């Protein structure tokens, strides 16, 4: 048989013997199907919920339509709270499918990719049967599932954390010098992309890799050139955007240092659960409820790890590099998250791949195998519940939905070309639904420290950019005070519309004959 015939036979073999291929990989196929179904099911059917989704959707739409992919802008002003990689994905999705589906599409891809890569890492660590289980565990855990349907950079960061861990393990397992350098370079580039996803927060989850390399140095000798290459590539890739912004936008360095480093680690001015018990009240529920329906298995994994430590002690940890790797991935970042002064539940999302690995390893024990006939039924019920959660989010009325508010504004006769002044309210998602002329103003609220904070209302009233017939949009509890203030400024104003928690105030000559209307 010629070489060409052998290659042709090798190429056709999976097609000819597809039943055998499917049978050999049926668990992986099941895990992939479940993951993709959870990722894309009604992903874009829910409207944008304020405030976070409105921020990022507004920035992504502006980026896609303006063509400025380097300086993210919120309502025309620089938005430097996060680096732009996740917004780049959303902007690309907007170009592909304009609307909420396009904006949420990248999150579904990141979620599915993180789940599959978690399985690939489990297969590398322990063997073939662990891969599909780890994928299923991650995809069906409550916190990753919910986070994938919310437009934030946390799902993107979670993907790059597990990708960095996978590449590190390939680096550690390689034998040849050139291969090790190649995997070190790939690990560093992945870390750099993680920095572009959510800034220096990636370094918190790179810490376990460094600790693991140090502790397990008796088994694997890392050459200093490999670490230099990995670190340099991370700095070049991750620092590219930061260097551009520091040079192009005056004041960007001071703001980003305060917002992404000082404000998260030791300063409490961001007011994100910075109290003494903030770590317990924030991350305790996440580790319990966020790991459902696998919380009981996680508890058994923790007990088994503690029992093993008591028997063998810490001195022999290097002899179990896989368990050490997973343990450091959870413990080291969690310690940093708990001591930092800025704490939010989604900050713990990149811990979930490691927890999924631990659960998958525990669920393969002999004790778990005896009750495996129950698991498919329970998993099927849980999948139905997850699907119902997404459907309920689509059908559930909420004043935070900017899609509903945009429909109400349009129905009441507010034109898409009208300038809307958002006073002490975060409705930035309206720009996705056609209301592109948004101005952000501050009346009573203490402003969050944005790089370009909302304009004080007195300054905006005298701004040449303000239309004389613009409409003011505020929350219901602020409407009366706002009307009084506008009257003191010589602005004849009255309530034009009331929608749930939103109030539209009209000023100028048309306010004398405006008729208040409402909906919902």
CA torsion through residues 95, 101, 103, 109, sign: negative
Residue 46 falls inside a structural domain? no
Burial readout 94-130 (b: 16 or more C-beta within 10 A, e: otherwise): beeeeebbbbbbbbbbbbbbbbbbbbbbbbebbeeeb
Q: Tell me whether residue 54 is in a domain.
A: no
pLDDT at position 274 is 82
**Domain match, 410 and 293 both:** no
Decide which of 371, 393, 415 is a domain's last residue. 393
CA 296 – CA 272 distance, rounded (Å)? 29
pLDDT beneath 70: ranges in the chain:
1-24, 312-319, 364-374, 445, 464-469, 509-520
Residue 50 lies in a domain: no
* Same domain assignment for residues 200 and 340: yes
DSSP 314: G
Distance in angstroms (rounded) separating the CA atoms of residues 459 and 452: 14
Q: What was the pLDDT predicted at 366?
A: 44
* Whether residue 388 sits in one domain with residue 406: no
If asked whether residues 361 and 427 sit together in one domain, one would say no
The DSSP secondary-structure symbol of 175 reads -
Statement to judge: residues 335 and 280 lie in one domain = yes
Answer yes or no: do 291 and 435 share one domain: no
Is residue 439 a contact partner of residue 455, using CB atoms and an 8 Å limit?
Answer: yes
Partners of 455 in beta bridges: 441
Q: Evaluate whether residue 70 is within a structural domain.
A: no
Phi and psi at 493, nearest 5°, equal -135, 160
Q: Which pLDDT does position 515 carry in this prediction?
A: 47
Tokens of 59: 């920035």
- Is the same domain home to 478 and 343? no
Residue 315 has a pLDDT of 63
Last residue of a domain, one of 360, 393, 426: 393
Q: How many of the other CB atoms lie within 10 Å of CB of 32?
A: 19
Domain termination site, one of 361, 393, 425: 393
Range of the domain at 10: 3-40+80-393
Beta partners for residue 73, in sequence order? 78
Rounded alpha-carbon distances, angstroms, from residue 221 to 162, 316, 318: 23, 18, 13
Q: Does the residue 56 lie in any domain?
A: no
Q: In whole angstroms, what is the distance from residue 213 CA to residue 218 CA?
A: 9
269 lies in some domain: yes
Considering the domain architecture, whether residues 34 and 134 belong to the same structural domain is answered as yes
Specify the number of domains making up the chain.
Answer: 2
Give the whole-angstrom CA distance, residue 256 versus residue 77: 15
Judge if 457 and 366 occupy the same domain.
no
Q: Which helix (H) or strand (E) holds 248?
A: helix 224-248
Instruction: Note whether residue 96 is domain-resident.
Output: yes
From first CA to last CA, the distance across the chain in angstroms is: 76
- Who's near 48: CB < 8 A, 6+ residues apart? 54, 57, 100, 103, 151, 401, 402, 403, 429, 432
Omega cis (within 30) before 293: yes
Q: State how far the Cα of 84 lies from the Cα of 59, in Å rounded to an integer.
A: 9
Task: Please indicate, yes or no, whether residues 369 and 412 belong to a single structural domain of this protein.
Answer: no
Answer for the pair 230, 184: CB distance below 8 angstroms, yes or no: yes
Tens of pLDDT, residue by residue over 175-195, are 889 999 999 999 999 999 999
Q: Residue 196's pLDDT is what?
A: 97
For residues 375 and 439, state if they share a domain: no
Does residue 441 fall inside a structural domain? Answer: yes
Pairing of strands 73-74, 77-78: antiparallel
Are residue 349 and residue 423 in the same domain, yes or no?
no
Pairwise CA distance, residues 271 & 279, whole Å? 13
Q: pTM value?
A: 0.91
Strand partners, 439: 421
């Amino acid at each position: 048989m010629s070489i060409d015939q052998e290659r042709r036979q090798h190429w056709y073999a999976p097609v000819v013997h597809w039943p055998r291929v499917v049978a050999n990989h049926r668990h992986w196929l099941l895990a992939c199907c479940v993951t993709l179904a959870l990722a894309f099911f009604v992903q874009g059917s829910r409207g944008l919920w304020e405030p976070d989704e409105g921020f990022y959707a507004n920035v992504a739409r502006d980026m896609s339509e303006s063509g400025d992919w380097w300086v993210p802008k919120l309502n025309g002003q620089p938005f430097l709270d996060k680096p732009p990689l996740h917004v780049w994905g959303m902007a690309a999705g907007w170009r592909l499918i304009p609307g909420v589906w396009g904006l949420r599409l990248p999150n579904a891809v990141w979620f599915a990719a993180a789940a599959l890569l978690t399985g690939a890492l489990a297969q590398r660590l322990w063997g073939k049967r662990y891969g599909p289980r780890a994928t299923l565990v991650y995809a069906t855990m409550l916190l990753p599932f919910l986070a994938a349907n919310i437009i934030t950079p946390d799902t993107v960061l979670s993907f790059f954390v597990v990708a960095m861990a996978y590449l590190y393990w390939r680096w550690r397992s390689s034998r040849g010098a050139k291969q090790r350098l190649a995997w070190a370079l790939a690990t560093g580039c992945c870390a750099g992309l993680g920095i572009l996803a959510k800034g220096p927060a990636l370094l918190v989850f790179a810490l376990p890799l460094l600790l693991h390399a140090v502790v397990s140095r008796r088994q694997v000798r890392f050459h200093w050139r490999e670490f230099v290459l990995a670190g340099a590539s991370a700095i070049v890739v991750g620092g590219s955007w930061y260097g551009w912004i520091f040079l192009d936008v005056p004041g960007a360095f001071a703001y980003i240092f305060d917002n992404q480093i000082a404000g998260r680690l030791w300063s409490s001015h961001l007011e994100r659960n910075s109290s003494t018990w903030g770590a317990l009240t924030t991350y305790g529920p996440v580790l319990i409820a966020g790991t459902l329906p696998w919380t009981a298995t996680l508890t058994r994994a923790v007990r088994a790890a503690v029992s093993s430590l008591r028997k063998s002690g810490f001195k022999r940890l290097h002899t179990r590099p896989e368990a050490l790797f997973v343990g450091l991935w959870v413990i080291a970042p969690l310690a940093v998250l708990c001591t930092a002064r800025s704490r939010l539940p989604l900050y713990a999302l990149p811990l979930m791949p490691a927890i999924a690995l631990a659960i998958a390893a525990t669920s393969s024990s002999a004790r778990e195998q005896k009750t495996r006939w129950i698991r498919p039924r329970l998993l099927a019920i849980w999948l139905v519940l997850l699907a119902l959660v997404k459907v309920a989010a689509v059908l559930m009325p909420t004043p935070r939905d900017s899609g509903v508010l945009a429909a109400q504004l349009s129905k009441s006769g507010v034109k898409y070309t009208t300038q809307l002044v958002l006073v002490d309210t975060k409705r930035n998602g309206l720009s996705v639904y056609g209301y592109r002329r948004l101005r952000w103003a501050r009346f009573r609220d203490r402003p969050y420290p944005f790089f370009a904070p909302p304009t004080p209302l007195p300054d905006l009233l005298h701004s040449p950019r303000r239309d004389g017939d613009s409409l003011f949009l505020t929350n219901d509890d602020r409407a009366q005070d706002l009307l009084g203030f506008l009257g003191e400024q010589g602005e004849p104003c009255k309530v034009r519309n009331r929608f749930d928690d939103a109030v539209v105030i009209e000023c100028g000559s048309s306010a004398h004959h405006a008729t208040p209307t409402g909906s919902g």
